[in-house]
């Protein structure tokens, strides 16, 4: 790993911790930018093809401790509400896909995992903390934004998912 990359990751971790300590879900009402990314299974995932579903987009990185802590909880959320038209979509921002894949061997998940090694989609969503999650309603609107993760945030996720499923 290059010194520049180590410094970038360290800065991101510090910033993520600052954001996490001041966590509050932000309510939004903006159209989610459409994107297409390659998934772990080799297929393409295009957000606009999932209108009619509630989508929880989770930006994560293999070097992010809170991301690793949150992933199994998101997998449970995905499994619990999948039959109600809900899906978690994980987007790895790792520059090297192999780093994301190594983490997924240690922490396997059943939800779709996409690769954003060029950071094009994370830039569309103004991702500035790890993890960052965006809840998108059935009409393709971003409704909730979460930056960072601490134990207990999943209670907010669950309540917001239920709200959007009922709409």
Per-residue pLDDT for 11 more than 70? Answer: no
How large a percentage of the chain has pLDDT more than 70?
Answer: 83
Residues in the chain: 167
Helices (H), 47-145: 65-81, 97-106, 120-124
pLDDT of residue 14: 41
The whole-number average pLDDT for the span 84-107 is 97
For the chain, the straight-line distance linking the first and the last C-alpha, in angstroms and rounded, comes to 46
| 40-55 confidence digits (pLDDT tens) | 999 999 999 999 999 9
The two tokens of residue 137 are 């309603």
pLDDT of residue 163: 96
User: For residue 43, is the peptide bond before it cis, meaning its omega torsion is within 30 degrees of 0?
Assistant: no
| Average pLDDT value for the chain | 87
**Inter-residue contact 56 to 95 (CB < 8 Å):** no
Give the total number of structural domains in the chain. 1
| 103-141 confidence digits (pLDDT tens) | 999 999 999 999 999 999 999 999 999 999 999 999 999
d(CA 112, CA 89): 5
pLDDT of residue 30: 81
Confidence band for 27, pLDDT divided at 50, 70 and 90 = low
Its domain, for residue 47, covers: 3-166
Per-residue pLDDT for 15 more than 70? Answer: no
- What is the CATH classification number for the domain harbouring 108? 3.40.30.10
d(CA 129, CA 108): 23
The two tokens of residue 65 are 């401790």
CB-side exposure of 42: number of CA atoms within 13 Å?
0
- Beta bridge pairs of residue 36: 46
pTM exceeds cut of 0.95: no
Closest C-alpha among 160, 162, 150, 163 to residue 73: 150
């Amino acid at each position: 790993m290059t010194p520049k990359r180590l410094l970038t990751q360290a800065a991101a971790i510090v910033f993520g911790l600052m954001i996490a300590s001041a966590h509050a879900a932000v309510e939004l009402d903006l159209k989610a930018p459409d994107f297409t990314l390659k998934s772990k299974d080799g297929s393409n995932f295009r957000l606009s093809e999932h209108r009619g579903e509630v989508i929880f987009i989770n930006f994560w990185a293999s070097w992010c401790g809170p991301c690793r802590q949150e992933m199994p909880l998101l997998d449970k959320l995905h499994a619990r509400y999948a039959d109600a038209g809900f899906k978690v979509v994980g987007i790895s921002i790792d520059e090297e896909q192999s780093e994301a894949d190594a983490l997924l061997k240690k922490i396997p998940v059943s939800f779709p995992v996409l690769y954003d090694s060029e950071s094009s989609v994370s830039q569309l969503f103004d991702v500035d903390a790890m993890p960052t999650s965006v809840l998108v309603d059935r009409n393709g609107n971003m409704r909730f934004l979460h930056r960072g993760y601490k134990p207990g945030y999943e209670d907010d996720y669950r309540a917001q998912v239920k709200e959007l499923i009922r709409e």
